[in-house]
């Protein structure tokens, strides 16, 4: 039985992408984004519990996609769980947390929208969580010069880029740490404000460190991002 679970949050509507369908079901090279996202998880070195959090009215569709992805990877579906998501991303993570198997002691939370994430990045996060006992998130150095700008458009200052990281998912945590931090956030009225898992865990006083991310783990948010993903896949398999 798996000791690692990956919660794939796929319950968002994809407002900024602007399709009629929820984002996880939008097609990229003839396959839904969720299907691509599951390639990253089924490609991991060790067998994991996969918890897919889907829009409440699309759970059956998401299950069909997961079953198809498992078959493609010749993986069993015994450790694939489907649950309905909530109003916010954090509500969706909560629904996923409720489905963890008792054997799980490391939890990864991953955005389905990061559909091209290499499996090796997921393996790397698991290994780093095990090695440190801390929260671990992938991040990339920020390459652009970042300015602080007033509402008027006036430049207030330049941010020191050397201490910035653009963080990605999967974000990994020891299960007990993540569960305790979520409970702490709810008790202290912090749950709404802490929109990312690492912020929530760090807010409760736990160490979280950044490891090297991967350019392919970018989040598909806008139509331009989807176009970029399409071009990347075209180049990989013309």
List interacting residues with ligand CTP (CB under 6 A): 9-16, 23-24, 53, 85-89, 92, 111-113, 219, 221
Quote the least distance from Cβ 12 to Mg ion, whole Å: 5
In three-state secondary structure terms, 118 is coil
CB closer to ligand CTP, 37 vs 148: 37
Kindly tell me the burial class for residue 63, based on how many C-beta atoms sit within 10 Å of its own C-beta (0-12, 13-18, 19 or more): middle
- Cα separation, 112 vs 52, in Å, equals 9
Q: By CB under 5 A, what part of segment 10-69 binds Mg ion?
A: 12
- Return the ∠ at Cα 148 (arms to 138 and 214), rounded to 5°: 15
Quote the least distance from Cβ 77 to ligand CTP, whole Å: 21
Quote the least distance from Cβ 41 to ligand CTP, whole Å: 13
Quote the least distance from Cβ 88 to Mg ion, whole Å: 8
CB closer to ligand CTP, 112 vs 201: 112
Stretch in the footprint of Mg ion (CB under 5 A) among 8-16, 48-56, 104-112, 147-155: 8-16
CB closer to ligand CTP, 9 vs 128: 9
- Cα separation, 236 vs 128, in Å, equals 29
- Cα separation, 54 vs 183, in Å, equals 23
- Cα separation, 68 vs 85, in Å, equals 21
Quote the least distance from Cβ 191 to Mg ion, whole Å: 16
CB closer to ligand CTP, 16 vs 148: 16
Which DSSP string corresponds to 2-64?
-SEEEEEE-----TTTT-SS-GGGSEETTEEHHHHHHHHHHTSSS--EEEEEE-GGGHHHHHH
Site string for Mg ion, 173-202 (x = CB under 5 A): ------------------------------
Q: Which residues bind Mg ion (CB under 5 A)?
A: 12
């Amino acid at each position: 039985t798996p000791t690692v679970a990956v919660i794939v949050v796929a319950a968002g509507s994809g407002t900024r992408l602007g399709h009629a369908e929820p984002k996880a079901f939008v097609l990229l090279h003839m396959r839904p984004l969720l299907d691509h996202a599951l390639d990253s998880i089924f490609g991991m070195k060790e067998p994991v519990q996969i918890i897919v959090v889907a829009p409440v009215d699309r759970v059956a569709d998401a299950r069909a996609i997961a079953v198809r992805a498992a078959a493609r990877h010749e993986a069993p579906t015994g450790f694939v769980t489907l649950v309905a998501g909530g109003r916010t991303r954090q509500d969706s993570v909560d629904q996923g947390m409720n489905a963890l198997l008792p054997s799980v002691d490391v939890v990864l939370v991953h955005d389905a929208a990061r559909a091209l994430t290499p499996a090796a990045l997921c393996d790397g996060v698991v290994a780093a969580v095990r090695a440190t006992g801390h929260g671990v998130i992938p991040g990339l150095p920020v390459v652009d010069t970042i300015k602080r700008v007033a509402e008027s458009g006036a430049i207030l200052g330049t941010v020191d880029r050397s201490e910035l990281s653009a963080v990605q998912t999967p974000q990994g945590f020891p299960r007990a740490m993540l569960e305790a931090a979520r409970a702490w956030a709810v008790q202290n009225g912090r749950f709404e404000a802490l929109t990312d898992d690492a912020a929530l865990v760090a807010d409760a006083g736990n160490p979280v460190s950044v490891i090297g991310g991967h350019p392919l783990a970018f989040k598909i948010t806008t139509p331009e991002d989807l176009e970029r993903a399409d071009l990347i896949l075209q180049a990989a398999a013309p």
